[in-house]
């Protein structure tokens, strides 16, 4: 891809040196060449080179509205006054609108403007020239034909591809280890408070297959995404002995010995577990090519354990949290795709089989919402909808399933889940992980950082927090200001009866996207009311139900499963679900 981008830049330089030549004419019917000439002129001006800007006059004289999209893209990077005026003047000539860059960008989105041939190729070249050659991966020639969105809408978000690094299987530690880390990393203390996590700080809490984990927002504000495996298997003190902990996925271990045909002695560092213990063989996934189980020493036969063993891990459920800091939405997705296949740009069928997608940050935004990409196919995805936006998987029919996650304070999470692990401060990246260090000004301001043309503030302010649900094609938003006083909300979304429980989180001296721990469950027509304490509900038949992370559980064992939902700033949700219902309206 970098070689491809190098060819692009060479072509641009060649074209830009042509521009001052006497008598040069411009053929505006040749969209590819004309867009490159416009780009080359802007690129040269940005670097202080003299250049002939006659191409913009030719485009203005053409009256061709298909040049509006590339001109808007160029205007974003046209920082010098001379070129900015020329580009905006050309846009005015083609549209009749007298606007600045943001105005034109929002106008284009609202009007779903037509794009010229080869626009996808041009956009990749533009971003490669001004920012990062890696952007060309996403804008391969022909990608426009199958795009699910108008490609004028993706805009550079101020960072390179993966400039906001996602976390991949990041280390989890026990609450006790977290306390020690807080005082170890003193640079992350806030006003002398080195607590990690602080009792009132917000975390993303999730619990799947008996494994509870917390991901503090102060870290995720810097990374905006984690790829992880959730789940655990019992670790025993000896074969057929007592369970000492749950060994968490996907922590790697050394398998040093076996006992008979069923047990494996392992050494590894899993949060809350001793360094050594026994796992059942069926709970282990070996590193490819790592081990022949029968070759492990058999302790039951008196053989000595290996000093250095064979690598393996406990498998879990692959998940990914897409956290759009700008739109306040952290959405947890299942990223296991069965029998994945797609048709590439050459028309060939690519069969990947059962696939776990791994995601990173594309460096692009759409309506101030994060666009992410999967590292398997370089498809660009919408973080808030879980749908491919453009790239190889756009026509595959794949949509990511939403899983339950809650934004709550650490003290409440730990009280409910004393065996929870928490993300380590030692992520391998150099960032200021102090509470409130990242995005504090943005979170605590009413302003947006990037354009979002689809807004509605008639009833709800842009950055008011809502809880968002999507069921059977129906979207619904629940303003936290409305549901917190009610605490228990009975409703119907799509064809599903739901009960929503909202518990306010402590107010802090600064704001992060939260305000209430909100969980939604199926209710199947039942009428719920408050139980004996905050952890229970009562149904109309007199039964008590425990509120858990995975389900409402009745005394007789009946379960009503939890529904995947998430918090968001109102503008972030409305930007992609303009037909959303609003609770209380």
Tell me the angle at which helices 54-62 and 31-46 cross, rounded to the nearest 10 degrees. Answer: 140
pLDDT tens-place string over residues 214-256: 999 999 999 999 999 999 999 999 999 999 999 999 999 999 9
Give the pLDDT confidence score for residue 290 in this predicted structure.
66
Question: What is the C-alpha to C-alpha distance for residues 419 and 62, in angstroms, rounded to an integer?
Answer: 68
pLDDT greater than 70 at residue 22? no
Residue with the larger pLDDT of the pair 294 and 558: 558
pLDDT tens-place string over residues 429-468: 999 999 999 999 999 999 999 999 999 999 999 999 999 9
Residue 96 falls in which region: left (phi positive, over 0), alpha (psi -120 to 50) or beta? left
List the chain domain ranges. Answer: 2-153, 167-227+321-408, 232-313, 451-582
Rounded mean pLDDT of the chain? 94
pLDDT greater than 90 at residue 213? yes
Residue with the larger pLDDT of the pair 412 and 43: 412
Mean per-residue pLDDT for 183-189? 96
Mean per-residue pLDDT for 65-85? 92
pLDDT tens-place string over residues 497-554: 999 999 999 999 999 999 999 999 999 999 999 999 999 999 999 999 999 999 999 9
Query: Tokens in use for 506?
Result: 């402590």
| Nearest-10 Cα torsion for 220, 551, 234, 318 | -40
225 burial level (CB within 10 Å; 0-12, 13-18, 19+): buried
Give percent above pLDDT 70 in the chain. Answer: 94
Rank 3-17, 37-51, 491-505 by mean pLDDT and report only the highest. 491-505
Q: Name which of 43-57, 63-77, 299-313, 340-354 the model is least confident about.
A: 43-57
Q: Band of the pLDDT at 292, cuts 50, 70, 90?
A: confident
Give the rounded distance of the alpha carbon of 482 from its chain centre: 27
Give the pLDDT confidence score for residue 6 in this predicted structure.
42
pLDDT greater than 50 at residue 15? no
Residue with the larger pLDDT of the pair 25 and 408: 408
Question: What is residue 281's DSSP assignment?
Answer: G
Residues in the chain, overall count: 585
Give the pLDDT confidence score for residue 48 in this predicted structure.
59
């Amino acid at each position: 891809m970098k070689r491809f981008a190098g060819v692009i830049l060479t072509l641009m330089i060649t074209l830009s040196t042509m521009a001052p030549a006497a008598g040069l004419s411009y053929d505006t019917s040749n969209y590819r060449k004309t867009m490159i000439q416009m780009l080359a002129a802007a690129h040269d001006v940005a670097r202080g080179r003299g250049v002939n800007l006659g191409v913009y006059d030719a485009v203005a004289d053409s009256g061709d509205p298909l040049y509006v999209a590339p001109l808007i893209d160029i205007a974003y990077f046209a920082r010098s006054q001379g070129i900015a005026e020329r580009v905006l003047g050309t846009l005015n000539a083609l549209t009749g609108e007298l606007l600045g860059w943001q105005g034109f960008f929002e106008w284009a989105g609202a009007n779903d403007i037509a794009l010229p041939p080869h626009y996808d190729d041009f956009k990749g070249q533009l971003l490669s020239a001004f920012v990062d050659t890696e952007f060309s991966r996403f804008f391969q020639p022909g990608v426009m034909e199958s795009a699910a969105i108008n490609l004028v809408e993706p805009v550079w978000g101020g960072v390179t591809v993966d400039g906001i690094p996602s976390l991949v299987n990041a280390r989890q530690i026990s609450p006790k280890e977290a306390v020690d880390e807080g005082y170890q990393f003193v640079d992350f203390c806030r006003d002398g408070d080195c607590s990690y996590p602080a009792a009132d700080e917000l975390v993303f809490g999730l619990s799947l297959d008996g494994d509870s984990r917390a991901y503090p927002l102060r870290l995720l504000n810097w990374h905006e995404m984690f790829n992880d495996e959730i789940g655990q298997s019992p670790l025993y003190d000896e074969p057929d002995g007592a369970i000492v902990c749950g060994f968490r996925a996907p922590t790697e271990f050394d398998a040093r010995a076996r006992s008979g045909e069923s047990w494996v002695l392992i050494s590894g560092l899993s949060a809350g577990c001793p360094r050594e213990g026994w796992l059942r063989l069926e709970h282990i996934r070996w590193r490819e090519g790592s081990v022949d189980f029968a070759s492990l020493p058999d302790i039951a036969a008196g053989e000595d354990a290996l000093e250095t063993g064979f690598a393996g891990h406990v498998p879990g459920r692959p998940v990914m949290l897409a956290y759009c800091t700008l739109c306040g939405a952290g959405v947890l997705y299942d990223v296991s795709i069965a029998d994945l296949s797609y048709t590439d740009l050459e028309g060939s069928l690519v069969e990947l089989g059962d696939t776990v997608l791994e995601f990173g940050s594309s460096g692009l935004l759409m309506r101030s919402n994060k666009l992410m990409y999967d590292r398997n196919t370089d498809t660009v995805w919408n973080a808030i909808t879980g749908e491919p936006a453009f790239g190889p998987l756009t026509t595959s029919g794949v949509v990511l399933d939403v899983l339950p996650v809650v934004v709550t304070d650490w003290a409440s999470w730990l009280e409910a889940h004393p065996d929870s692990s928490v993300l380590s401060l030692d992520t391998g990246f150099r960032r200021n992980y102090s509470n409130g260090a990242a995005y504090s000004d943005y979170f605590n301001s009413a302003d947006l950082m990037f354009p979002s043309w689809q807004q509605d503030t008639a009833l709800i302010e842009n950055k008011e927090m809502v809880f968002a649900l999507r069921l059977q094609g129906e979207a619904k938003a629940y303003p936290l200001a409305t549901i917190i006083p009610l605490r228990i909300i009975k409703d119907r979304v799509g064809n599903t009866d739901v009960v929503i429980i909202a518990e306010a989180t402590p107010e802090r001296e600064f704001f992060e996207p939260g305000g209430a721990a909100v969980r939604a469950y199926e209710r199947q027509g039942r009428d719920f009311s408050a139980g004996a304490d905050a952890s229970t509900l009562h149904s109309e038949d007199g039964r008590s139900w425990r509120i858990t992370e995975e389900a409402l559980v009745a005394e007789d064992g009946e379960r009503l499963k939890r529904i995947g939902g998430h918090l968001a700033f109102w503008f972030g949700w409305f930007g992609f679900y303009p037909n959303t219902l609003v609770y209380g309206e």
